[in-house]
Chains A and B, each alone.
Chain A
Amino acid sequence: MKLSLNLKTALCTFFIYVSFYSPIIAQSSKIDSSAMVTLRLDPGSARGAAVSQVFEEVSFIPLETTKESLFGSISQLEVTEKCFIVYDYDTKSILIFSKAGKFKAKINSSNIKDEKGKEAQSFWGFSLKQENHEDFIQINSGKYSIYFDLNGKLAKKVQSKDDKPDNGLKFADKTQIVEGYLDKKDKDSIYYQVGLVKDSNEVAKYLPYKADRFKNDQFYSGGNPFYDSGIADELFFLNYYEYNIFKVTPKKMLLAYRIIFPAINSLPADFAANPVYKNKRQEYFEKYPKAFYAISNTYKIGDQLFLKMHNWDHSKENKNALIYNLKTTALISVNGIEPDSSSFFLPVTDLGFYYDFSNRGFLKYDKKYFYTSYSSLAMFAFKEQSADKKPKYNALMSNYFKTENRKSNPVIIQLKPKQD
């Protein structure tokens, strides 16, 4: 029964796939859907759970507030063995904090000078690079690619064109995943959403599109298309306007999960392919605000599949972040995770109250912990609401509540998810 269902859905997917991409005649590799699992998720039936039922370990790490370290919110977070590296859009700066939240250094355009002593251009994020087993923060500023060590000291500055393109993801065997892969042999300049390249040789290429598609249509996504699948050398990949979770390995791309949501939350099956929706997608989302236009934040930890859904309805009660147990089929809503003593009765995300989690999801998963953050404005509000529970804060949080206020820096929440 299950097999036949899978077969049927596979055929169905294949049909969609063919109708989808047939206008572009290209030699794209075939996506393997033989191991696909169909998941039916109804957010409405998702349950709540205590923090300690979902997370083994909860730590609140307030980031030190000084005149120099004051920043807005965390829009990018990288975690190394010894520090947190934060990119803040408001101040356009990178801030380095110790794992205990102590401020270490700040990098912004004002402390990068070019030969003429002129300030460098603003940068909009950073990458963490390893060279000789040492971590470096790399930014792109104007024509330059600039490297800093984790103390914020300038390490080197090279012309971007001379900097070996090391962007993009890599597997252990050095196979590179190229997003927006252009096969130079193709005559029509066809791009592929996913290309696998090893030693400059093409391994496979998937999901072709024309270069001008972004000019002629609207594309809404939930953010990054690649996430940790929980297995070494396997990554999850998400495509526009479909609820499929693909798995990318050094050799090929597979369809891992096909998610079916209740009708009210679903886009029409032909939403991506049917030209009637072309350039009218926003109108469609406005008309059907409950329909999920994208999924994101797909992580598999043990038996738990984490995912987030995105729709036009910004109601605070939406159960748009879920944890699905692939073994027991239990479905938990992140919105319903109830603070308990393991979290000092403080919420572990600001979902449903403020917008940090609903905008960005988890900031980072480092194969052990999830990281999220919320503002001190939110933290002090939560503290007031939970005063009756007489929480016993640890020294770090007691001190934070004593010395800081609503206008202090955000707090990082480090969560260790349970495996089952």
Chain B
Amino acid sequence: MYLFRILITAVLLAVTLINTKAQTINPSHIGTAKGILRDTVHNYVLKSATVSIYKAADSTLLSYQISNNYGEFKFNNLPVNLLLKVEISHVGYQALSKKFTIPAAKNLLDLQTMIVKPRDISLQEVMISIPPVSMNGDTLEFNASAFKLDSNAVVEDLLRKIPNITLWGDGQITVNGREVKSILVNGKPFFGGDTKMATQNIAKNALEKIQVYNTIKNKSNPLDSTLEVNLKLKKGKDIGYFGKIGAGYGTNKRYESDLSFNIFSPKMEIALIGASNNVNKIANNIQALQSNSTFKGVGTNVAYQPDFRTSGLHQPNAGGVAFTYNFIEKPTYDKKNSLNSNYFLQNKNSENLYEAKTTTTLNNNEIITEKNSRKTNDVSTNHKFDSKYEWVKKNKSLNISQYLTVNQGETNSGSFRAAENGQNILTSTNNSINQSNYKNTSFNLFANYVLGQNYMKYNQRFKGFNATYNLTVNENSAQRLNITEFKSYTDPGANKNFNRKYDTQSEGINQQIDVELPNIKSIIFGNSKLAGIDFSITNNLNINHNKDHNRVKDLDEASQNYQNNDYLTNQIQTNVINETTGLNIKKTFSKSLSNRFNKDLSFNLSPNQQFIYQNNQSDRSFQNIKRSYSQFLPNATASYVHYQYGDFYKSYRLNYTTTLHIPTIYQLAPLTDSTNLYALQKGNVNLKAALEKKIHFSYSHTDQTNKNTLNYNLNFSAGTIKNNIVDSVLIDDQNRRTIYLVNADGHKYINFYGSIRKAIKLKTSEIQVSLNTSINSSRQPGYTNDVFSFSKNFNTNTALELNYTYKSDLALVLGESFSTYQSKQEAFNTEYSGKTLTTTLRSSYNITKKLTLNNIVSFNSSAAAATKTVNFTIWNANATYRFLKGNNAEFKFSALDLLRENNSIINYGNANGFTVGTQNVLEQYFMITFSYYPRQFGKKGVKK
């Protein structure tokens, strides 16, 4: 097995290396060309002119520069002894072109002063040639038509061709090393704003230019800004459609089909999507389907692949419509008016098989093992309708959004559980069959209005306000049948059978009203400085109303009729009013030096007072509980930002929060359903509220240099919970568990999360390395059979990813992830541990322009203490071939789980036990898929 893995790795690497070697230019034959540009009419040196170098033979763009302050340009790394062409262009000047060769003997050519002539205004229409890049004010523009590409190229292919623009393996785009924060199309987000929707669909030929500019202009610091990219479409190309229709069929009756059709015009966007498969490709929203149906294809991205990790077998069918209307054709940051609506319908059939073994330690060092085998079938239909309206005008903004979801379905499950004692002797079994029909409806309305400060009226004492209203209405109903048989092998008298019917209805209304008055200093104290201290007031009010009505019936063995269960049949209403009033006191110390650095230290103190009133009214008198809580919740934040121009940006943040967790009625006084003898839930009317105190520290470093950036961030949090609501479990020798809830002190936790990213751009290839680590450690109090014990848990998760891309031909991703868990019970002197290791190698290789080969191999190893290590390898591969004139058709052959080893491993630990097992997964199949990509940019008649 091991040998086989090494073999696969070797083959994949060999392909890479051979390919890389074949296309590397010999670096010893490079030369330099330089020159000065001058406008002799105006007696100017020409600054900011575009100088482009092409291979004279085929006009391939080799490099470009913008002339400097002295009108000079200088290119290193040009080929020698080869006829080259230099082209000069600048707004308002006639283009100038000159052919030259750098002699190999000297490796240097001085083109000296090149005279550029101002363009006659009357000749403005005549463009001799379009420069690949130009400066238009402070906007860097790349002109699409200057780049010669395959007629089927998309924007992404163009981006790869532009020197200085980098597309990283993880989807990030950088220009001269700086990250692009957003991509717009004609000034607007394109179909929801996912970068891929624009870059992988829009035909390069529909594009006029790519504009790169800074969105925040801070004049005192020319280096401080955010990069934004706008894709400006050619005139008449701002209307069109694109999409995908595809279907595939394979062995084991596997099938998949998907449809994505998108229409756009200057103000409107409509998307239609649909998908159906039985290969675990589950899309839960329209955007997921859209972004995985792009013309460019998914490459090494694994977002919407048949998921071999997903447990269970799923057959999802989905469809939907997305609609966006921009009332303003060219929105700006302070002027927006748009409406977006989506409807999504999903129907899903799922089958889950679960087989696991849980080992639990009791106080007397006795071990109980529970074997659980469960089969669940679920058929569900989900509707979601949501819309969003956004309006921004100057310092005012209004956001209204709404969603309505309806989930309806039927679940059938059977579970077979058996308990054994430490001597492997069967003590009890608990088998049950559940059948339920459910319908859940949820409606949400969100509205937010912000009145910001009017900077034109800086003297105004009222600086604005921020108000949010959020309404959620839920209505859930379910009819359920439970047939359970508990059998004791040590005490036959304890045997129990249940045949119970449930009809449950619940209604909930939740209203949240948040109001904030920022900068109130000026309202109260006018223009006085108050040592730079500012205040804001916040008020958060939450009103929650819940009504549950449960009707429960048991089968009467004698009469074979269902009789009312007077204990469980109940009506209960809960009203909770949660009011938090807070004051926020802020003081910032700033230190800055023009063109050097900027340092800000700020302190934020928020004393909040929270009042909670909980009123429960039930048919059962012991559930008629009224409670009120009042708690002082101090929060505080200290943050420090350090910015050294052109060097780095560092940010530190230390935060202290207190949170109150109140017990619910189901924790205080539940009605205990006795059908699940392996987990009988009891309440505790004496429960107090738990108070959590938490400290969080974060640190981030952002590189501001232009090359090979290194960025990292660290997060650290620690906390304690006083009066935490914990389980007190009574387990008998037959694994019957009664769970009481008690308050216990001493809950502590420490969590760490860190990530590092390093990007290295080589001449023709790119490498990106990222490392993520999370470490969680906690000490949880709890009782097992009345013995108090702390459970010490320690979990880690580390993932390393290495991305390598060579031109646009090869993408290689090597991923390594390692996770561990450890759980120790001091009182019982027990310890559990386990680890999982996964190595993934993904590759995508374009053999020809039309033929692409993709491979995904992952090696998995899962080990738990005292059990055998499980190893398995999943190897998926596919070959795609594009044809027709516009590459509009695709034929794909996929081979999935080539090694027939797929497995889904359960391996985790908890307070006083651990669980190992397996779940059913997708297994080997082969599939042939055919897809067609209809696309049109611009109206048909005007297509050129």
Using a CB–CB cutoff of 8 Å, the interface residues on chain A facing chain B are: 45-49, 70-73, 90-91, 218, 282, 313-317, 333, 336, 338-339, 345, 347, 352-355, 359, 375-378, 382, 385-386, 388-389, 406-407
Task: Tell me which of A353, A355, A378 has the highest count of chain B C-beta atoms within 10 A of its own C-beta.
Answer: A355
**From A72, A313, A355, contact of B592 by CB (8 A):** A72
B593 A47 Cβ-Cβ under 8 A = no
B327 close to A (CB within 8 Å): no
Q: Closest chain B residue to A90 by CB distance?
A: B593
B885 close to A (CB within 8 Å): no
B45 A71 Cβ-Cβ under 8 A = no
Within 8 Å CB of B596, what residues of A?
72, 377, 407
**From B42, B69, B595, contact of A46 by CB (8 A):** B42
When chains A and B are docked, how far (Å) is the Cα of A73 from the Cα of B594?
6
B138 A359 Cβ-Cβ under 8 A = no
Within 8 Å CB of B70, what residues of A?
338-339, 345, 385-386, 389
Within 8 Å CB of B72, what residues of A?
385, 388
When chains A and B are docked, how far (Å) is the Cα of A345 from the Cα of B71?
13
Q: Closest chain B residue to A71 by CB distance?
A: B593
When chains A and B are docked, how far (Å) is the Cα of A355 from the Cα of B219?
7
A-B residue pairs, 3 tightest by C-beta: A315-B137, A72-B594, A48-B44
Cβ of A90 to closest chain B Cβ, rounded Å: 5
B44 A385 Cβ-Cβ under 8 A = no
B42 A48 Cβ-Cβ under 8 A = yes
Interface of B is mostly: loop
Cβ of B941 to closest chain A Cβ, rounded Å: 34
B137 A313 Cβ-Cβ under 8 A = yes
Chain B 54-92 interface mask (CB, 8 Å, partner A; 1/0)? 000000000000001110101000000000000000000
A to B CB contacts below 8 Å, 16 in the list: A45-B42, A46-B42, A48-B43, A72-B596, A73-B220, A90-B592, A91-B593, A313-B137, A317-B137, A338-B45, A352-B69, A355-B219, A355-B220, A377-B595, A378-B595, A385-B72
B42 A336 Cβ-Cβ under 8 A = yes
A317 B217 Cβ-Cβ under 8 A = no
Q: A385-B68, A385-B69 are in contact. Are A352 and B47 (CB under 8 A)?
A: yes
When chains A and B are docked, how far (Å) is the Cα of A375 from the Cα of B645?
12
Query: Interface size for chain B: under 10, 10 to 19, 20 to 34, or 35 or more residues?
Result: 20 to 34
Q: Closest chain B residue to A45 by CB distance?
A: B42
Within 8 Å CB of B44, what residues of A?
47-48, 333, 336, 338
A377 B69 Cβ-Cβ under 8 A = no
When chains A and B are docked, how far (Å) is the Cα of A71 from the Cα of B592?
9
Cβ of A86 to closest chain B Cβ, rounded Å: 12
Q: Closest chain B residue to A347 by CB distance?
A: B69
**From B45, B69, B646, contact of A353 by CB (8 A):** B69
Q: Closest chain A residue to B139 by CB distance?
A: A315
Interface of A is mostly: loop
Within 8 Å CB of B135, what residues of A?
317
B894 close to A (CB within 8 Å): no
Cβ of A320 to closest chain B Cβ, rounded Å: 13
Within 8 Å CB of A376, what residues of B?
595
B69 A375 Cβ-Cβ under 8 A = no
Inter-chain residue pair count (beta carbon < 8 A): 81
Cβ of B182 to closest chain A Cβ, rounded Å: 21
B222 close to A (CB within 8 Å): yes
B456 close to A (CB within 8 Å): yes
Q: Closest chain B residue to A408 by CB distance?
A: B596
B137 A47 Cβ-Cβ under 8 A = no
When chains A and B are docked, how far (Å) is the Cα of A293 from the Cα of B195?
39
Cβ of A10 to closest chain B Cβ, rounded Å: 32
Q: Closest chain B residue to A386 by CB distance?
A: B70
B795 close to A (CB within 8 Å): no
Q: A315-B137, A352-B47, A375-B594 are in contact. Are A359 and B42 (CB under 8 A)?
A: no
Q: A73-B595, A90-B593, A91-B593 are in contact. Are A314 and B43 (CB under 8 A)?
A: no
Within 8 Å CB of B74, what residues of A?
388
A315 B595 Cβ-Cβ under 8 A = no
B488 close to A (CB within 8 Å): no
B48 close to A (CB within 8 Å): yes
Q: Closest chain B residue to A339 by CB distance?
A: B70
When chains A and B are docked, how far (Å) is the Cα of A339 from the Cα of B44?
11
When chains A and B are docked, how far (Å) is the Cα of A377 from the Cα of B595?
7
When chains A and B are docked, how far (Å) is the Cα of A317 from the Cα of B70?
14
Other A-B pairs beyond A49-B43, A282-B456, A313-B137, 12, CB < 8 Å: A45-B42, A47-B43, A48-B44, A218-B456, A315-B137, A316-B138, A317-B47, A377-B645, A382-B69, A385-B69, A388-B74, A407-B597
Q: Closest chain B residue to A353 by CB distance?
A: B69
When chains A and B are docked, how far (Å) is the Cα of A70 from the Cα of B594?
11
A90 B138 Cβ-Cβ under 8 A = no
A315 B138 Cβ-Cβ under 8 A = yes
Within 8 Å CB of B217, what residues of A?
314
A314 B138 Cβ-Cβ under 8 A = yes
A375 B595 Cβ-Cβ under 8 A = yes
Within 8 Å CB of A46, what residues of B?
42
**From A70, A339, A345, A359, contact of B219 by CB (8 A):** A359
Task: Tell me which of B47, B219, B456, B595 has the highest count of chain A C-beta atoms within 10 A of its own C-beta.
Answer: B595
When chains A and B are docked, how far (Å) is the Cα of A407 from the Cα of B45?
29
**From B42, B47, B595, B597, contact of A354 by CB (8 A):** B595
Q: Closest chain A residue to B529 by CB distance?
A: A121
Q: A314-B138, A352-B47 are in contact. Are A70 and B222 (CB under 8 A)?
A: no
Within 8 Å CB of A354, what residues of B?
222, 595
